[in-house]
Amino acid sequence: MKRGGAVYIMTNKIHSVLYTGVTSDLKKRVYEHKMMCILIHLLQTIRPIN
């Protein structure tokens, strides 16, 4: 039986949150994590225009 996958532990840039999980495509999961961190940062820093 072929098995694939990886258990991962990631953190945010300031190391205040740990994210854990299991994935069969670690490169894709790392990319998704980085993109989500960037999106959250942008949403927190963009101010609405009145």
8 pLDDT higher than 80: yes
Secondary structure (H, E, C), 1-50: CCCCCEEEEEECCCCCCEEEEEECCHHHHHHHHHHHHHHHHHHHHCCCCC
4 pLDDT tier (thresholds 50, 70, 90):
confident
Q: Tell me if the pTM is above 0.85.
A: no
Mean pLDDT score of the chain: 85
38 pLDDT tier (thresholds 50, 70, 90):
confident
Q: Map out the domains of the chain as residue ranges.
A: 6-45
Mean pLDDT of 22-43: 89
